[in-house]
Amino acid sequence: MEDDQRLGQFIRDRKVIVCVGSGGVGKTTVSAVVALHAAVLGRKVLVLTIDPARRLANSLGVEALDNEERQIPLAAFEEAGLAPTGELWAMMLDMKRSFDRLVERYSPNAEVRQSIYDNRLYKYFSTSLAGTQEYSAMERLHELYEEGNYDLIVLDTPPTVHALDFLDAPKRMAEAVESSALQWLYKPSLAARKFGFGLFNIGTSYVLKTLTKFTGAEMLDELSKFLFSFQHLFDGFQSRARRVREILGGPECAFFIVTSPDPMTVDEARFFQNRLMDEAIPFAGFIVNRVHEPYLPREALEVTSAEVGAQIRAKVADITPEAAEALGEALLTNAIEFQILADLDAQTLKALRERSGQKTLIRHIPYFSRDIHSFEGLNWVRQELFGP
């Protein structure tokens, strides 16, 4: 089977598709395109995006940061010349709101809930703690998956330096929560007794970083209150983290690694692939985005700038011979440089193919001259990935 058909097969039969990759490679764009294609194929699909570019958010109808699932109106498809038989839903993940939901769901009563919301440390933790965004995504995935309202959930991932931090987030959170250093902080009296040296037991630097923002007594008070109220939420932590891990490692899930054709990013992508395999996570394939494709036959570049200048003069009235030749030279240089980039990208793709084996699914998306912020743009990418 050809790679585009294999890719289509994943979109047809999986329940969860995750797009991972280094920062800025096109994860959010690819997630939206995969979801669009699933809807075209007749599935009811939800794309869970993270910080989409503003105009893309507009196209997807998720400009509001409210963690609500929204259906993309049929008119948007029709404008792009599509008649989907499924449904496309989108949601923008807002980590602060996700944490609030967690508090809402798992607080034993209104009082605890309020005390958490009011806590200054909570405000800090729920927005800036390393890993909370990843963790929120996981919590939300868990919730949506268990609700079972969609045939497919496409999960975009946050722009982390190491794309797979995301995989470790639930485990790391659970570990941090269960670590003895934090356990003693739950109990205010014990915390007070241990204060002198206890802080040094906290190996996790994010805690220390947070602590330095407060003065001693104030901080301790706030922290113990926070942890005391928060422990209710931590109860189910481990089991949920385990369940998410099961979903991600299961046969209903597929991971796509999105990468640019830059050799260093490709190396990183291969590193991710190995990690996924080590962790028995179902790796589905590479999507190489923003590939420069030659748009002129090579012979077309074997001209002089004077010849290009002459062609310009034949087409443009009122241009001096000097200006035409200067323009011709600039155009030619640009075309030659583009060809060099295209050659480099072709080499990188070839090397990736050789190193990862014939069986590995690799699809690429050209570098478009415009950002892909509209439904129409998503459809161009869709056609590149899945065929017209």
Q: Quick one: 244 or 257, whose CB is closer to ligand ATP?
A: 257
Q: Quick one: 52 or 170, whose CB is closer to ligand ATP?
A: 52
The answer to whether 37 and 385 are in contact (CB under 8 A) is yes
Q: Shortest distance, CB of residue 223 to ligand ATP, whole angstroms?
A: 32
Strands (E), 271-366: 283-291, 362-366
Q: Quick one: 290 or 313, whose CB is closer to ligand ATP?
A: 290
The answer to whether 152 and 43 are in contact (CB under 8 A) is yes
Residues binding ligand ATP (CB under 6 A): 21, 23-29, 51, 53, 159, 289-290, 365, 367-368, 371-373
Q: Quick one: 53 or 319, whose CB is closer to ligand ATP?
A: 53
The answer to whether 232 and 106 are in contact (CB under 8 A) is yes
Q: Quick one: 261 or 309, whose CB is closer to ligand ATP?
A: 261
* Rg of the chain, C-alpha, whole Å: 26
Q: Report what 131 binds from Mg ion, ligand ATP, none; CB cut-off 5-8 Å by kind.
A: none
The answer to whether 49 and 69 are in contact (CB under 8 A) is no
Decide if residue 229 touches Mg ion (CB under 5 A). Answer: no
Reference 57, options 382, 377, 373; nearest CA is 373
Q: Report what 257 binds from ligand ATP, Mg ion, none; CB cut-off 5-8 Å by kind.
A: none
Q: Report what 235 binds from Mg ion, ligand ATP, none; CB cut-off 5-8 Å by kind.
A: none
Helix (H) or strand (E) segment spanning residue 275: helix 263-278
**Which residue has the CB atom at the shortest distance from ligand ATP?**
159
Binding mask 24-43 for Mg ion (x = CB under 5 A): ---xx---------------
Q: Shortest distance, CB of residue 88 to ligand ATP, whole angstroms?
A: 17
SS3 readout for 209-273: HHHCCCCHHHHHHHHHHHHHHHHHHHCCHHHHHHHHHHHHHCCCEEEEEEECCCHHHHHHHHHHH
Q: Quick one: 23 or 216, whose CB is closer to ligand ATP?
A: 23
Q: What is the C-alpha to C-alpha distance for residues 364 and 17, in angstroms, rounded to an integer? A: 18
Per DSSP, the three-state class of 155 is strand
Decide if residue 59 touches Mg ion (CB under 5 A). Answer: no
Per DSSP, the three-state class of 117 is helix
Q: Shortest distance, CB of residue 346 to Mg ion, whole angstroms?
A: 27
Enumerate the β-bridge partners of residue 88: 45
Q: Shortest distance, CB of residue 330 to ligand ATP, whole angstroms?
A: 23
Q: Shortest distance, CB of residue 22 to Mg ion, whole angstroms?
A: 11
Q: Shortest distance, CB of residue 12 to Mg ion, whole angstroms?
A: 25
Decide if residue 133 touches Mg ion (CB under 5 A). Answer: no
Residues that bind Mg ion (CB under 5 A): 27-28
